[in-house]
Structures are given as C-alpha cells and as structure tokens.
Structure 1
Amino acid sequence: MRTDHQEQKYIRVRKKIEKISKFYKHLSVYLAVNTFLSAIFIIGDIEAGDTFNEAFFNLGNYKIWFWWGIGIVFQAIGTFGLPMIFSKDWEDRKLQEYLKEEEKTRF
C-alpha cells in the first residue's frame, strides 16, 4: 500500500518519464522529417541543373535543421535541464583533464 508521499513521488517520476519520452519522439521526427526534406531539396536542385556537390553543400537546403534544431535544444533543456551540459560530473572531468595537462607541461 502506497502512502500519499510515495504516490506523489510516483506521479512526479511518471511525468518526468513522459516528458523524456516526448523529447525522444520529437527528436526522432526531427531527424526523419529533416532528412526527407533535405533529400527533396537536393534532388530539386539537381533537377534544376546543379551538380550533386553544389546541391549537397548548398546550406539553404539545411536551414530547416537549424531553425527546428533551436526548438529541439530548448526542449532538451526543458526536459533535462542545463546540468545535462554543465553537470558537476562534467566539471570534475574537466578539472582532472586540466590538472593532468598542467602536470605534463610542468616537467
């Protein structure tokens, strides 16, 4: 039998899992749709007379990746928070990395 505290904890964890699941679904759609659209744009450019290299390296064919990607980044921050980027673990790893670097240059 669950207590009220356990029930509230379960609900919070369940909501977090749903939020993470939504993020990964959105990320999958982002990758699939943008890959498809970029392929369509590249094919269109080739049909319009561009070479494959010109079409493939035309940054205009990828601008949707950038703009939609901004939304993905904000959703990731909202889902996982900023610590996913600058966590204490990351700071400790960087500190150790720089300390080792200092030791190498010292001798």
Structure 2
Amino acid sequence: MHCHDTPPDGIEQLARKRAGAKLGWYIHASIYIAVNLFLIALATHQGRHWAVFPALGWGLGLLVHATVAWLAMPGGSLYARLLQREREALQRAK
C-alpha cells in the first residue's frame, strides 16, 4: 500500500508503527552499548579479550534491526518527534 493510497487514520497508524520501530532501535542500541561496556570492563579486568565476540555477534543483530527500522521503513519526547516526522512525510506523499 502506498502512502498516497492510505486513508488519514491509516497514515496515523503507519506513522506510529514507523516511529515505534525507530524508537525501538534507539532502545536496543542503548542497551547494546551499556552491556558491552560492562563486558569490556569485565574482560579487561581479567586480562582477556573475549568481550569482542558477544559485541560482534550482537552488533550484527543491531545492524539488522537498524536496516529494518531505518531502511525498510523510509521516510517534547523522542517518540513524539519521530511520530510527527513520520506524519509529515506521509502527508506530503498524499
């Protein structure tokens, strides 16, 4: 379904879905950074370098999530700003 074929309530629903996907990526990235910083600190304290393996594996998952949130779905609070941006993009496409 193209944006110009979407009724106004459908545009709202699509905008919310897109903004939610992007906000979900921000949350995922924040947790990735926090956990991997902890793992790096733990591994460094032990004098080992094993923390790179979970960082690389999880980083691949984060990259796939980013691809879906930012490329497969083009176009106050962070959620509200993202939601408004998506609404405006969808309205212009009508």
Q: Which has the higher helix share?
A: 1
What is the correspondence of 1:1-107 to structure 2 with a 5 Å cutoff?
Answer: 5-45=7-47, 55=48, 58=49, 60-81=50-71
The runs of 5 or more residues in structure 2 that have no matched partner are 1-5, 75-94
Distance across 2 between alignment mates of 1:11 and 1:61: 40
Distance across 2 between alignment mates of 1:77 and 1:61: 24
The runs of 5 or more residues in structure 1 that have no matched partner are 46-54, 85-107
Q: How many residues align?
A: 69
Distance across 1 between alignment mates of 2:21 and 2:66: 10
Higher relative contact order (CA 8 A, sep 6+): 2
Distance across 2 between alignment mates of 1:27 and 1:16: 17
Structure 1 residue 81 displacement after superposition: 1.4
RMSD: 2.2
Q: What is the percent sequence identity of the aligned residues?
A: 24
In the superposition, the TM-score normalised over structure 1's length comes to 0.58
In the superposition, the TM-score normalised over structure 2's length comes to 0.66
Q: What stretches of structure 1 move > 2 A for 4+ residues in a row?
A: none
Distance across 1 between alignment mates of 2:26 and 2:20: 10
Question: Which residue identity is paired with 2:39?
Answer: L
Q: In the alignment, what sits opposite 2:82?
A: none
Question: Which residue identity is paired with 2:55?
Answer: W
- Would you say the 8 A contact 2:36–2:51 is kept in 1? no
